[in-house]
Chains A and B, each alone.
Chain A
């Protein structure tokens, strides 16, 4: 079963007051808006990721492992 738009937004950290505004809209508009927000968060994450990668390239080679651990902590695990 598809996740409710309100639940998806809350999971993304959208506060309850803002979700309440959306929940007053017709279901198809709630779904459309939620898709737009999910896409915006994904696009922003991609931009951040790209910028962090560009930063990594500027770090001198000997320091890269430490820098990587700082900037990409999940890739260590």
Chain B
């Protein structure tokens, strides 16, 4: 199984190398943190290869006033060389120079800025200019470059850009952000209506849904819960698209613990979707959950699975009767251990669920005390 974070890292690495992500598919099994190390190293080497050629230009810029240097640089060097020159300059010199560029030109410059140098320069620019550059990058679809901004600029600047961007654009930028902790922080400040836009955009095609689920799987439990609640409140096609992506990316073990903290209505919105009418798929889900719990990858007690099974609608109830995993010995043993009950009690509980009846009182009492 490929971790979503590794897939995102491969995309970033492909961007640095100017190749299609598919051509680097052999790297998808490498942990994301190692791929990030590789990307930073390769990026540094690409920029370093021509630094000797670029440095004299940077030295020239220091000898004239910033406004004049900016005019000459824009006319004679163009955005590629300006980006490279700025990358080798002391930020104290580069920032006033960049401040004389208009947002359109500066957006082009940022495309060739060394990512390692860009943070210091972006941090030093006026908020209005950064917002203008961000708007240009959004329009140009340069989400990976814009994602570098997100981690270094003030919250009010990010929120101004959030206001400008549509849901699909925000999703792309958030997925590529260097620091997912920053996304967790920002999620508390972004209006819920905007987050709904992002989630609805994610449901419009499978690639976007995969991006959204990749992002969600990298966030904190609080953020996951918040986004799950919003998604559950949207039309049924949205939770179905999200569940479809969870199935494709095989991130059940990572995301199922969050289900336990959702309301019954929210759980129902995710469970009663067309994707989960496939009994063989749900059997696989149960095995994945059990294996993750056995391996202590993520503690997912059987009770979370019960909460899921308890809210199924009639169509899904019929599917419950086809699940072989609910009669599987390993599952029953795990379920009894996980709930502090006996296998016999678990069998009775499953029979109740399959009959569309509430869980036996004795079993429920055992659950609450376990």
Chain A residues near B (Cβ < 8 Å): 9, 12-15, 17-19, 21-22, 24-25, 29, 32-33, 36-37, 40-41, 43-45, 47-48, 51-52, 54-55, 58-59, 70-71, 73
Query: Interface with A: B32-40, B209-217, B223-231, B326-334, which one?
Result: B32-40
B187 at interface by CB-CB < 8 Å: no
24 A-B contacts (beta carbon < 8 Å): A13-B48, A17-B37, A18-B37, A24-B30, A25-B26, A25-B27, A25-B30, A29-B26, A29-B27, A36-B24, A43-B18, A44-B50, A45-B49, A48-B53, A48-B81, A51-B78, A55-B76, A55-B77, A55-B78, A55-B81, A58-B76, A70-B56, A71-B53, A73-B56
- Whether B77 contacts A51 by the Cβ 8 Å rule is yes
Contacts of A12 in B (CB 8 A): 45, 49
- Whether B46 contacts A44 by the Cβ 8 Å rule is yes
B44: contacting residue among A14, A25, A32, A36, CB under 8 A: A14
Q: Provided the pairs A18-B38, A52-B53 are in contact, do residues A47 and B78 lie with their beta carbons within 8 angstroms?
A: no
Contacts of A33 in B (CB 8 A): 24, 26-27
Mostly, the A contact residues are helix
Mostly, the B contact residues are helix
What is the interface size of chain B, counting residues whose CB is below 8 A from a CB of the partner? 34
Number of A-B contacts (CB under 8 A): 91
Which residue on A lies nearest to B16, using beta carbons? A40
- Whether B78 contacts A14 by the Cβ 8 Å rule is no
Min CB–CB distance A36 → chain B (angstroms) = 6
Min CB–CB distance A54 → chain B (angstroms) = 7
A15: contacting residue among B17, B41, B81, CB under 8 A: B41
Q: Which of B23, B53, B54, B77 has the most CB of A within 10 A?
A: B53
> 10 more A-B contacts (CB under 8 A) besides A13-B44, A37-B42?
A22-B38, A24-B30, A32-B26, A33-B27, A40-B16, A40-B42, A44-B50, A59-B76, A70-B60, A71-B53
A33 to B10, CA, bound (A): 12
A48 to B75, CA, bound (A): 16
B366 at interface by CB-CB < 8 Å: no
A48: contacting residue among B34, B38, B56, B84, CB under 8 A: B84
- Whether A44 contacts B41 by the Cβ 8 Å rule is no
Min CB–CB distance B254 → chain A (angstroms) = 23
B80 at interface by CB-CB < 8 Å: yes
Which residue on A lies nearest to B82, using beta carbons? A51
Contacts of B30 in A (CB 8 A): 21, 24-25
A21: contacting residue among B34, B46, B81, CB under 8 A: B34
Contacts of A14 in B (CB 8 A): 41-42, 44-45
Min CB–CB distance A49 → chain B (angstroms) = 8
Contacts of B19 in A (CB 8 A): 36, 40
The 4 closest A-B pairs by CB, nearest first: A18-B41, A13-B45, A40-B17, A13-B48
Min CB–CB distance A77 → chain B (angstroms) = 14
